[in-house]
Amino acid sequence: MVTKTLKTTASCPVETTLKVLSGRWKVLIIQFLLERPRRFGELSRCLGTVSARSLTKQLRELEEDGLIIRKDFEQISPKVEYSVSELGKMAEPILYAMGALGEALESRMEKSSRTSKKHTFSR
């Protein structure tokens, strides 16, 4: 499925992956959903400073790209739950590798505005 996030044709699969995962919150959303399914409010609390508008937009893009699943319980008090799809689970080793690389880079360089330990990926 060609999505809005892939408006231009990617030249290689790595570029496609980067385009789909690009976005301020997408990698962190996937990280938290890999732990367990979560509702919108819980994801918002996990992420901290994300606005409802930004979170909604990124969740819709991830769903459209097939990385997450949105389950609507269709009840009177609205309940929606997000979980990682089988395709999204393929991102798990990538996220752990990024976490390991980040730790190695942080140990190599002094703390600067480019590095942060706020969110870590650990096994």
- pTM metric for this prediction: 0.77
Among candidate residues 114, 98, 89, the one with its CA nearest the CA of residue 18 = 98
What is the distance between the alpha carbons of residues 4 and 12, in angstroms, rounded to a whole number? 18
- Give residue-wise pLDDT tens across range 57-116: 999 999 999 999 999 988 888 889 999 999 999 999 999 999 899 888 988 885 665 555
Structural domains in the chain?
Answer: 14-108 (1.10.10.10)
Cα 113 to Cα 26, 27, 48, 103, 116: the distances in Å are 21, 19, 19, 15, 7
What is the distance between the alpha carbons of residues 106 and 43, in angstroms, rounded to a whole number? 27
Question: 2 or 40: which carries more pLDDT confidence?
Answer: 40
pLDDT at 78: 83
What is the distance between the alpha carbons of residues 93 and 123, in angstroms, rounded to a whole number? 10
Tokens standing for residue 107: 């140990």
Using 50, 70 and 90 to split pLDDT, how confident is the model at 2? very low
